[in-house]
Amino acid sequence: MFLYEHEGKKIFAEHNIPVPPSGVAFSPEEALEIAKRVGYPVVVKPQILGGRRGKAGAIRFADNDDELMKHVNELFALELHGEKVERLLIEKKVNIVHEYYLSYMLDFYERRPIVMFSTEGGIEIEEVARTKPEALVKKYLDPEMGMTSFIAMEVLNKLNIRGAEAKKFVPIFLNLWKAFKEKDLLLAEINPLVKTAEGEIIAVDARVMVDDNSEYRQKWIKEFKEKRKGKESLEYQAKEKGISFVVLDGDIGVIGNGAGLTMATVDLVREFGGKPANFLDIGGGAGPERVFTAIDLLLKLGNVKVILMNIFGGITRCDLVAQGILEALKKLNLNIPLVVRLTGTNEEQGRKMLEEAGIKAYTNMIEAVKKAVEIGRGGE
Amino acid sequence: MTVLVNKDTKVIVQGITGREGSFHTKLMLEYGTKIVAGVTPGKGGEEVHGVPVYDSVRDALDHHEAQASIIFVPARFVEDAVMEAIYNGLNPIVVITEGIPIWTTMKLVSEAKKRGIYIVGPNCPGLIVPGEIKIGIMPGHVFTSGDVAVISRSGTLTYEISKVLSDHGFGQSIVIGIGGDPVKGLTIPEALRLLESDPRTKKIVIIGEIGGVEEEKAAELIKKGEISKPVVAYIAGKHATMRTGVSFGHAGAIILGEMGRPETKIRAFNEAGVPVARLPTEVIDHLRTL
């Protein structure tokens, strides 16, 4: 899960990485209060999870209440990269002398952490790698030993940062590593890490990704997740019930069992000219409740014209899936067609249950997908 | 002889007394897998489906000969269980458990590698040599014996495609579900190398998906001529490009910036001369022409 900038900065601050004084505003009133507390001039930054803000002109500066209100109202009305802006970070503006880049990430394939440092901060690191590779140091680390003072010095020296100047950076290198490892992070990026006119080194942005699998030992993740809104919130509710749910933009609801099969089903809908509304994996060995919840979630999306269900029963039993569908028919106001493909363990039983309720169950996945796409088109 | 396991491989089930462990022990026994012992700390002396349970792998090995382990213990206890299997030299270690923190997996795989031990998974369906042995949770009846090997990052999609293979006369030499996590033991390129030297495997099917670079690395290996056997691929998640930075069911099925995109994987395979099936069912059409 990616964290909002302000959530990332909270983790940084806990690990003694200096960040500018700031606060998160969910309303213009809150924004004013925060500005009063940290003092003008301030920077106003929309908190979104994906995409870049700078290029979209969404990072604003304000010297007084009037300017602040103008920006805040404009930004709250904005949608950036498909995300509605719901929270703004109001932050004390710092006097930047130079921008650097520092990050740790896990290389999944090599199964090792990497540190990256650059004297060219403030732009995407891929661009630096392309246009000015000599300003970038990339180094694999031993996961157990991690970052040490001497490795930090080596990295800094490579980019001609030496002596007292270099020494200022070392604690940031060490503290960020500590946060990275202790908090089960997959990415901890400071871009830019800035040197201020006062000679301080401060983290001005935070891009942090945490491992969802670590939730049982990182209790703080839950707290952040519960505050999410919109589609993020629906997806989170699903996850709490053992369902993987990703909202897409089409109108054909897709339910499958197993991530690969469900992704393949979404792709097939697309392949035959339909628009998938979502990805929803009920997981292995799902019982009637999870099937019921899945259908309920798709109805909550509001724009689904037809539900396509693709079940390959291995560990999952087709009769239990059918039972879940029948319960949904009975208890939910299911006024959209349902196309079901059911095969595998106890399929005869499952199919019979559905047929008695007037639902034809396909055995062939391609036929079922084509049917769903056809219905989806018919409704336009 | 085949890769990783054969019909005589004796297996220990770690986490045998849990719901999943017990259920699948029964199914594996029915398939003919030689499960000699189970391990659950604190449950030594019990029996599950006629299999004796021990408190530790060491105690199990003092009473039985075994080579492989399959692990069902919950994520938070997995570190201890896998370390125990590694320190007792079990090989391969198949980790079914889902939800293991990536930092933990990284540590476990690194320990296993130091000792030349293969970990399959985590978050995987395991492996099956049709008609001989099943160390996993896949429904045995969809597989038939033959000479096509399947390497897959998926579970049910593997069953789906294997069934299509079986229905059309393409039996399988081995099916390896390597799992859906971003950091794992056996990777696609490593599995390819094993299968290259497997006399029973004539052709290979790779079922990949979005996320990571395993497919690209596999394509590189093939392009360099290190894999001489014909390979066919399928990539799931082609439509996932519209939501990046989000996992599609598998923790590893995630597009991060330019990494893990489906088009990059398809291009890499095509450049290596590997046909990529548009539909899962098309895998057989490509196998026929190779």
Same domain, A249 and A371: yes
Same domain, A73 and A111: no
Same domain, A310 and A359: yes
Same domain, B69 and B190: no
Q: A342 lies in which domain range?
A: 230-378
Query: Of A187, A220, A253, which residue constitutes the final position of a domain?
Result: A220
Rounded to a whole number of angstroms, the distance from the CA of B248 to the nearest CA of chain A is: 7
Same domain, B275 and B168: yes
Same domain, A106 and A192: yes
- C-alpha distance from residue A367 to each of A269, A341, A362 (Å): 11, 9, 7
pLDDT in tens, chain A (380 residues): 999 999 999 999 999 999 999 999 999 999 999 999 999 999 999 998 876 787 778 899 999 999 999 999 999 998 887 778 999 999 999 999 999 999 999 999 999 999 999 999 998 898 999 999 999 999 999 999 999 999 999 999 999 999 999 999 999 999 999 999 999 999 999 999 999 999 999 999 999 999 999 999 999 999 998 888 777 788 988 988 999 999 999 999 999 999 999 999 999 999 999 999 999 999 888 899 999 999 999 999 989 999 999 999 887 899 999 999 999 999 998 889 999 999 988 999 999 999 999 999 999 999 999 999 999 987 54
B133 domain-assigned: no
Same domain, B147 and B101: no
* Residues of A with Cβ-Cβ distance to B219 under 8 angstroms: none
Q: Which regions in chain B score pLDDT beneath 50?
A: 1
- C-alpha distance from residue A134 to each of A100, A101, A131, A227 (Å): 14, 14, 9, 42
Q: B67 lies in which domain range?
A: 10-120
CATH of residue B224: 3.40.50.261
Count of domains in chain A?
Answer: 3
CATH of residue A129: 3.30.470.20
Do residue A260 and residue B101 have CB atoms under 8 angstroms apart?
Answer: no
Rounded to a whole number of angstroms, the distance from the CA of A126 to the nearest CA of chain B is: 9
Tell whether A274 lies on the interface with B, counting CB pairs under 8 A: no
* Residues of B with Cβ-Cβ distance to A247 under 8 angstroms: 243
B129 domain-assigned: no
- Concerning whether B250 is annotated as a catalytic residue, the answer is yes
Closest CA to B156 of A117, A26, A344: A344
A254 domain-assigned: yes
A355 domain-assigned: yes
Count of domains in chain B?
Answer: 2
Do residue B76 and residue A217 have CB atoms under 8 angstroms apart?
Answer: yes
CATH of residue B97: 3.40.50.720
Q: What is the pLDDT of residues B12-41, one digit of tens each?
A: 999 999 999 999 999 999 999 999 999 999
- A148: buried, middle or exposed (CB in 10 Å: 19+, 13-18, 0-12)? middle
Rounded to a whole number of angstroms, the distance from the CA of A66 to the nearest CA of chain B is: 36
| Distance in angstroms (rounded) separating the CA atoms of residues A147 and A175 | 9
Token pair of A301 as six digits: 């999306």
* Residues of A with Cβ-Cβ distance to B258 under 8 angstroms: 126
Plot region of B155 (φ>0 → left; ψ -120 to 50 → alpha; else → beta): alpha
A348 backbone dihedrals φ, ψ, rounded to 5° = -60, -45
Tell whether A191 lies on the interface with B, counting CB pairs under 8 A: no
B256 domain-assigned: yes
A6 domain-assigned: no
* Option in B139, B157, B242 nearest A248 (CB): B242
Closest CA to B211 of B173, B176, B257: B257
Same domain, A135 and A61: no
* Option in B100, B152, B236 nearest A267 (CB): B236
Query: Of A68, A93, A118, which residue constitutes the final position of a domain?
Result: A93
Same domain, B285 and B154: yes
Tell whether B241 lies on the interface with A, counting CB pairs under 8 A: no
| Distance in angstroms (rounded) separating the CA atoms of residues A258 and A245 | 12
Is B43 within 8 Å of B14 (Cβ atoms)? no
**What's the predicted TM-score (pTM) here?**
0.94
B156 domain-assigned: yes
* Residues of B with Cβ-Cβ distance to A362 under 8 angstroms: none
